[in-house]
Amino acid sequence: MHLSKVEGTAAMHEMEVKEAGRVLNSPCFSIPIAENVRLKLYAKTNKRIRFEIVHSELWNQRAALLKEAGLKPETGGRSWNEVPHLLKALRQRAAKHMNNVMEHLRLFQRRN
């Protein structure tokens, strides 16, 4: 995983500065870090960087996600009561990816 990955992209991310009522643009870097998972990072302010983990193709992963959430895969509709469990499973996945990113950055910093 490097910021120079071939599949990585850079785009402008629109940010609204609430205090000033202005909209500014910030470069947004999007890097694949796992299958159907991308890391996005961009400047929130001149002092903070935002890291985001973006999951895609979740429909194709629904059986595994339901299992991680402790829910039984069933046919038909799902209850809204299951949404918090699914969100918790996604947060846990995102946390694992973010921890891997931070560990990679720590190791890369030590080498340089």
- What pLDDT digit, counting tens, does each position of 33-54 carry? 999 999 998 888 778 889 999 9
Residues 40, 101 contacting (CB under 8 angstroms): no
Share of the chain above pLDDT 90, in %: 43
Structure confidence at residue 101 (pLDDT)? 92
Note the pTM of the prediction, 2 decimals: 0.71
pLDDT category at 1 given cuts 50, 70, 90 is: very low
Secondary structure class of 49 (helix, strand, coil): strand
Q: What burial letters (b/e) apply to 46-72, b meaning 16+ CB within 10 Å? A: eeeeeeebeeeeeeeeeeebbebbebe
On whether the CB atoms of residues 86 and 67 are closer than 8 A, the answer is: no
Per DSSP, 46 falls in state S
Residue 59 clears pLDDT 80, i.e. is over it:
yes
